Every structure is written in C-alpha cells, then in structure tokens.
Structure 1
Amino acid sequence: MKAIGIILAGGNNKLMKDLSKKRAIAAMPVAGSYRAIDFALSNMSNSRINKVAVITQYNARSLNEHLSSSKWWDFGRKQGGLFVFTPTITADSSYWYRGTADSLYQNLNYLKTSHEPYVVIASGDGIYKMDYNKVLEYHIEKKADITMVVKKMTDRSEINRFGLVTMTEEGRITDIDEKPLETNLSTVSTGIYVIRRRLLIELIEKAASEDRHDFVRDILIRYKNIKKIYGYKLESYWSNISSVRSYYKTNMDFLKKDVRDYFFKQYPDIYSKVEDLPPAKYNCGAQVSNSLVSSGCIVNGTIENSILFKKIYIGNNSVVKNCIILNNAYIGDNSYLENCIVESGSTIKANTNYKGEGEPLILDENSPIYY
C-alpha cells in the first residue's frame, strides 16, 4: 500500500479510573487474549502497510513490552517495519508530548524520511476491523485533503466522549463539534484519518509555529472550511474502550457469537503476541457457561457470562458472574463476584462478596473486603 501508518497510543483518560493506573489505554486487555492496540496493528498489517509508527507516552512500559517484537504482526522485515516513539529530550525540545499534533511534530523526521505519498493515522483504543485501502481509494476518488472515518452511533449514552460531525450527502464534512456537552448529532469520528504526507508535514509545522498542539482542534476544526475534509462511513463493528463503561461493554460483546465469529473466524485475522501457556484446566465441580476462558486458567468454581484472561485461578465453590478477570488474578474459595472488573495480579480473598451496581465495580489488591 502506498501509505505509512501512525498509531496514536500515548494518551490517558480519567474515564478509565483505576484501570489506566497500570497501563496505557492502548495496552488494555480485550477479548481474553488481546490488547486494544492489536486491532489497529492487525488492520495496518492486513492492509499491507509495511511501515508503522506507534507513538506512546503515558504508562508506556506494558505497551512497549508488548511491542518489543514486530514479528507478531508481520512487520519484521528489511523494508519498513514497526517503530515505537516515546518522548525524547533533544537540543530542540525538552517537552513531553503536549497533544496529538505535538507528538507528530516531535517525530516529524519519520514523515520526512518516508517516501510513501499518504499517511494513515489511527488511535490505539479502537476495536474494529478495516481495510485502509478502501479508505484511501475513497480519499483519492473524492480528491479530499483529509478523510475521516466516521461511524453512526445508535447508543447515545456516551456520545459526548467523541467528536461529532455534520456531513453533506456527498460526504463532505461541514462541521466538527469536539466532545459537546449536548448534541443532536449521532455520527462520530473514529479517530482514523487519511492524509497526503506532504500536506500533513505542512499542517503540523504550521501548528507548531503557532504553539498549537492538538490535531483535532488545531488542524481539523481550524481548517474545516479551508481544506476539503470528507467522511468515510464505517458500517461494521467499531467500539472505543476509553471509559470503564465502554471497556466493559466491548469485552461483553465478545460473548456474542456473531461478534466472535466476525473478529476471529472471518478473514482477515487479528494478531497478538503469543505466550506459551497450557490450555485452561477445569477441575471436578467446575461449571462454565457463555464465557471466554483463556490459556493458563484453572477453574474450580462457577463461571457465567464472564471473560477470564490468562493465568487466572478460580477457587472452590466460587461464583463469577458478568465479570472481567484480568491476567494473573487469584479468586479465593467461596467468593462471589458479580458485575466486576478484577485488575491484573489481584488476589480476591476467600469468603468475600462483591457486586457492582450500575457501573462495573473495579477490584484490586486495595479493595475493601466484604463478607
């Protein structure tokens, strides 16, 4: 493909609460065996984008470890490859990334030394499958300066987390309302863009010269009446996991057969870093229904409508309902968990009882004990 890729994976969001204390949002576990960033990386690889940069910043250690080898997404090659850019103190800059546009500006050499005519920019917290070639074809057909991938949302409960767009029948975007308090609009930006590389360099340098740092506010919104910005409508599954509610809902979507089949049984595939772990073990008395149980788990109790990530221990007579249990957690005997998210590495003591009301309850080592 005649494009390079950039994945923006450096941000943090207070809507994730304690879940983002340990890791970047792009490193959040999804669907039992994946990280959120695996979806954008797989889409890049499947679209034959051979050169991809991941820009990281906040709590980047877990994400950087996950990206330590590019072979899992087939970027280990002589031409192109996978690049990870973190903030670096230089003679010209001693700042952390001050925004999405600034993160691009501080890594402008990546754009200037590339030769591909186009750039595909994606966020690291989107769960979806997409052939970016189709977006590029649409971009060229419309003779657009910038193309945004947009999605019509039926669930409006968190609509104000997104940038909302107004479009003409031809697809031209006429207005962008970034994270409004109130709106009647329902078409959101997914954080995926296609733009000509030379134009992106020009816009980023212009923004930096004016001390502007945000890609949406200082480029997209500022130039919406000057540059031709078009919207490419995404009709298939898409979700953004940057809040506790959306993270929980997205994982629970994978308990639906049609969603699982779409991501895991229909070409192209989603790839991730693979660990050598034994298959899950179900001991005598274990009962599991409508759940995803990953490798390395040992189950003694009852699991209903839940997702267990890798290396989870479920104690005798314990009940786990409508829960997400992250890697390396230990659930003691005779415990009852419902509508909870258990943080990785946590120990839930025996004979305890937790139930989330409304929004999922986040549990870790410091959670109060209830009997």
Structure 2
Amino acid sequence: MVRGWGHFKKELGESVEILPASQRSSDNWYQGTADAVFQNIDIIRNELPKYVMVLSGDHIYRMDYGTLLARHVESGAKMTVCCMPVPIEEAAGQFGVMSVDETMRINGFEEKPENPTPLPNNPDMCLASMGNYVFDTEFLFEQLKRDSEKSDSDRDFGKDIIPDIIKDQPVYAYAFDEVDQREVYWRDVGTLDSFWTANMELVQPVPALNLYDKRWPIWTYQEQLPPAKFVWEEDNRRGAAINSVVSGGCIISGATVRKSVCFSNVRVHSYSVVDESVILPDVEIMRHCRIRRAIIDRGCIIPEGMVIGHSRQDDEARGFRVTEKGVTLVTREMLGLPVGY
C-alpha cells in the first residue's frame, strides 16, 4: 500500500504509514476499535491535525472524503458518522443502527441489534453505520482518554463511545446515499459470505464497482507479471474463462473457469472446472479438479481429482470450513501444507 501511494509528498504533509499493532499504553494488544486509536494517539498528535477520520478496514466503498469533511464542518458536529440505508434483515446483528432527527443529528444508536429500528418513512429499511467517522481532534482525544479510564468499557466506538456522547454532544449522520445515487458503492466484507459475494459482483458484465473506471483509479502496488495465458484447444481440453476476472501471471491450461475471480499467479491445470469461486494469489489447481462456490486461500495446492463445493458433508469431513450460505473455504493448513508459505 505504501508503495502504491508513493506519489504523496511528505514535505506537503502527505504520507501513508503502516503501523504494526502495539502495546503503547498497556500490556494488552488492541482491545477494540477505540483502543486501537488510543494506543496510537501520540502519533496522531504529532501530525497536528484539526480533524481525524477513523475508517473501517473490512469495508469496500467508493467515497469522496472531501464532501464528508465539508459536511462535518458545516454541521458544527463534534463527530460525524457515515451511514447507509440497509434492509432490516441484512442489518440485524451485523451493523450499528442509528436514529436521527430532521437535521440528521443522531439521537439513538444501537450496536448490532437483533431488531433494528426502521426508518420512519420505510419500515423495511434502517440507517446503518458504515464504520467511518470524522472527529474534531481534541474532542476525539478527550473521549478516548475518558473511555480508557472506564473499567466496564469494551473500548469500541460503536458499543461505547457513540452511545455515550450522543446524549449531550452534537453527533451527526452523513447519509452516503444522498451524495450521488449513481456513484454509491459500499460493501461490508467482514464475513466469508460477504467477501465471496463482493467478488462475485465483479464478474458481472457491468459490475457495481467498475475496476475499469478511470475516474476512480485503484492505487496499489502490484508485482510486474506476464499477461494471463489460456492454452490448449482440443475437443476435451480447452483453456477458457467465461464471465470471469483473471489477473496477470495466471495460466488456464486446458481447464474451464466460469464466473470466478482469479488473483495473480493462479494455475489451473487440464480437465479441471472452477465455478463461482474466488481463487487467491499463487494457488495451483491440479488436473481433474471440480471446484464451485469456494474461496481458495493464498498458496494452496489443490491435489489432482479433488472435488470442492459439491457436497457440504464431504467438505466438512476434510476439515474445510463451509459457511451458512454454502461457500467453502480452503486454506493451506486445511490441506496439510506448511502455513508459512
């Protein structure tokens, strides 16, 4: 990530720093989202920011932070919470849910309730927190310090900080969907099922998140690899990928890949069939394998003839993890391969 954003200028106050988990303020590792920020408070203070944004690490979204910051300043808020209307059944037990007044000031907050409070004008939808926040810096420091002194706190923004401060502090919601209906994209990928679903959306002819949209380039560092290659053209042995995303360094050799995402350096050997699957980097799938609705973790070597995702009973018997929605996860450890590959 640091190399991908290498165009930043430190002399202009621009930089990206990756900070490893630490034990700066106690003998414990991070106890919650608020504690993770609190234990790095000295680093934040050294940058002298007027505002601090706290962003979720397991969400994928497309957002112009400039609009969010402008709304925060205009509203006079001490804290602003990004939000999205979400179906009640999707939010139940998964997202923090807010209630707001006509000015979008938050007057109620529930952390992952089983029965979310619906929107006043739509009983099937609720206002879910995206896990992205903007704080006035000194206000953030005050709340983190106060929370760190509580013995009964989970050290979490959603569980502790937000419910506590909305009683007497101006905390506002920022409705992400109101900015530009055509540009709205947000997915929580904190579970295996949601991660699989988000990847399957990419194989659609016109995906909700368009990787080819030059207006929203994805800045990252990627190893220089040869183009994807598809080899053999025989009646029963043809390398092909249909409705799929295939990255550089991949070789589809006499195999068929359908509705799948192949990350870099994936090799799929002859007579194998891969359907509706997410294949992470450096995976090798040997001959005569059949894989469907699966997530194959980085560096796995799938033995010849293995069948994955066609029988929940067989998958679980092998020690693979099968989700509630029937997606099978396979890791190197489950295959008996060295984990530190």
Taking structure 2 as the reference length, what is the TM-score of the superposition? 0.82
Runs of 4+ in 1 over 6 A off after TM superposition: none
CA contact (8 A) 1:100 1:214 kept: yes
Which amino acid in structure 1 is aligned with residue 239 of structure 2? Answer: A
- Deviation for aligned residue 1:150: 0.2
For 2:292, the equivalent position in structure 1 comes to: 338
Counterparts of 1:264 and 1:341, CA distance in 2: 24
Counterparts of 1:73 and 1:160, CA distance in 2: 39
Counterparts of 2:51 and 2:5, CA distance in 1: 24
1:307 aligned onto 2:255: no
Alpha-carbon deviations, 1:213-272, whole Å to 9, x = none? Answer: 222222111111111111111121100111111010011111123336644314131111
1:84 aligned onto 2:18: yes
CA contact (8 A) 2:272 2:288 kept: yes
- Deviation for aligned residue 1:88: 3.4
Which amino acid in structure 2 is aligned with residue 108 of structure 1? Answer: I
1:66-85 maps to which residues of 2 (within 5 A)?
67=1, 69-72=2-5, 74-75=7-8, 77-78=10-11, 79-85=13-19
CA contact (8 A) 2:268 2:286 kept: yes
3-state SS in 2 of match to 1:199: helix
CA contact (8 A) 1:73 1:272 kept: no
Q: Percent sequence identity over matched residues?
A: 26
The structure number with the bigger radius of gyration is: 2
- Deviation for aligned residue 1:349: 1.1
1:218-233 maps to which residues of 2 (within 5 A)?
218-233=160-175
From the superposition, tell whether residues 171 and 257 of structure 1 become closer, same or farther in structure 2 (CA, over 3 Å).
Answer: farther
CA contact (8 A) 1:164 1:187 kept: yes
CA contact (8 A) 1:72 1:272 kept: yes
CA contact (8 A) 1:88 1:94 kept: no
Q: Which runs of 5+ in 1 are unaligned?
A: 1-66
CA contact (8 A) 1:70 1:82 kept: no
- Deviation for aligned residue 1:344: 1.1
Counterparts of 1:102 and 1:76, CA distance in 2: 29
Alpha-carbon deviations, 1:168-197, whole Å to 9, x = none? Answer: 232111111101123353221001111111
For 2:206, the equivalent position in structure 1 comes to: 258
1:46-125 maps to which residues of 2 (within 5 A)?
67=1, 69-72=2-5, 74-75=7-8, 77-78=10-11, 79-89=13-23, 93-125=26-58
3-state SS in 2 of match to 1:150: strand
1:148-297 maps to which residues of 2 (within 5 A)?
148-154=81-87, 156-157=89-90, 159-185=92-118, 186-211=126-151, 212=153, 213-235=155-177, 236-259=184-207, 262-284=210-232, 285-297=238-250
From the superposition, tell whether residues 252 and 70 of structure 1 become closer, same or farther in structure 2 (CA, over 3 Å).
Answer: same
Counterparts of 1:73 and 1:178, CA distance in 2: 37
- Deviation for aligned residue 1:95: 2.1
CA contact (8 A) 1:166 1:187 kept: yes
CA contact (8 A) 2:205 2:243 kept: no
Which has the larger displacement, 294-303 or 174-183? 174-183
- Deviation for aligned residue 1:158: 5.4
Counterparts of 2:211 and 2:328, CA distance in 1: 27
Which has the larger displacement, 310-319 or 99-108? 99-108
From the superposition, tell whether residues 335 and 87 of structure 1 become closer, same or farther in structure 2 (CA, over 3 Å).
Answer: closer
From the superposition, tell whether residues 199 and 70 of structure 1 become closer, same or farther in structure 2 (CA, over 3 Å).
Answer: farther
Which has the larger share of helix? 1
Which amino acid in structure 1 is aligned with residue 326 of structure 2? Answer: E
Counterparts of 2:209 and 2:104, CA distance in 1: 31
3-state SS in 2 of match to 1:269: coil
Which has the larger displacement, 148-157 or 332-341? 148-157
3-state SS in 2 of match to 1:201: helix
- Deviation for aligned residue 1:307: 0.5
From the superposition, tell whether residues 158 and 304 of structure 1 become closer, same or farther in structure 2 (CA, over 3 Å).
Answer: farther
What CA RMSD, in Å, does the superposition of the two structures yield over aligned residues? 2.1
Matched residues, number: 301
For 1:321, the equivalent position in structure 2 comes to: 275
Which has the larger displacement, 185-194 or 240-249? 185-194
From the superposition, tell whether residues 105 and 368 of structure 1 become closer, same or farther in structure 2 (CA, over 3 Å).
Answer: closer
CA contact (8 A) 1:339 1:355 kept: yes
From the superposition, tell whether residues 298 and 70 of structure 1 become closer, same or farther in structure 2 (CA, over 3 Å).
Answer: closer
1:129-144 maps to which residues of 2 (within 5 A)?
129-144=62-77
